[in-house]
Amino acid sequence: MLQAIALTRKFGRHTALDALDLLVNRGEIFCLLGPNGAGKTTTINCFLGFLSPSSGTALVNGIPVFRQPQEARRHIAYIPETVTLYPYLSGVENLSFFHSLTGEQLSSDHYIALLLDAGLQEQAIHRPVQTYSKGMRQKVGIAIATAKNAGALLLDEPTSGLDPKASNEFSILLRRFSQEGRAVLMATHDIYRAKEVATRIGIMKEGNLLTIMDAATTDHYTLENLYLEYMETSI
């Protein structure tokens, strides 16, 4: 569903992403771990078509993003670290507005059901989002992503700043996305959350994907130690 083939992005002389090969199939949750500047956001931005590759290809459902960005984006939902919403509009009004940008409009009851399903409290649905916490805004972001019904979900540090309960609820929703047969690619700094939610975990550094492991066959302690070992070793 999401495939990078020798995906490379340079900024001037600096190689932010160096010949990345990656395949995330439907039903998988792939977490990208790595320090600041490792190339995680660059990877996600190449899949979103926000950045063009210097060489190599990003494919979404077999569609080359750089050549057919509109077509590829139809298959993608995206949740950034901070979901940007219109502060004076309510949760349901924001969801209705952002979903209408896909060219489709759903009923008000359907939007409310999506927000409740994403875990937003019923009493908050009609309140302006300027009164929402970060976790509540993320839930509107999840509802926007769910409404789009896309085959792939890209997330860039979505749980940063969320309390443990909100972060746990987020993991439950991600698992549901994968059980529905979507491919999930998430960049995160949260080793614990990655181990809890991922099917596979990749460790990146300086634009290189250094290793990929099955989350089920590793434990938190081993993962953290491996991560630290990679951070200390020069490439």
For residues 228 and 218, give the distance between their C-alpha atoms in angstroms, rounded to a whole number.
15
Q: Footprint of ligand ATP on this chain (CB under 6 A)?
A: 11, 16, 34, 36-42, 187
CB of 115 to ligand ATP, least distance (A): 28
CB of 162 to ligand ATP, least distance (A): 16
CB of 10 to ligand ATP, least distance (A): 9
Q: Which is nearer to ligand ATP, 39 or 141 (CB)?
A: 39
C-alpha dist (Å) from residue 118 to 68, 75, 138, 145, 213: 31, 20, 9, 10, 29
CB of 181 to ligand ATP, least distance (A): 27
Q: Which is nearer to ligand ATP, 41 or 208 (CB)?
A: 41
CB of 68 to ligand ATP, least distance (A): 23
Identify the CA nearest to 22 among candidates 218, 227, 210.
Answer: 210
Q: Which is nearer to ligand ATP, 85 or 187 (CB)?
A: 187
The two three-digit tokens of residue 156, written as one number: 């860039």
Q: Which is nearer to ligand ATP, 34 or 141 (CB)?
A: 34
The number of residues making up the chain comes to 235
- Which residues neighbour 74 within 8 Å (Cβ) at sequence distance 6 or greater? 150
Q: Which is nearer to ligand ATP, 41 or 94 (CB)?
A: 41
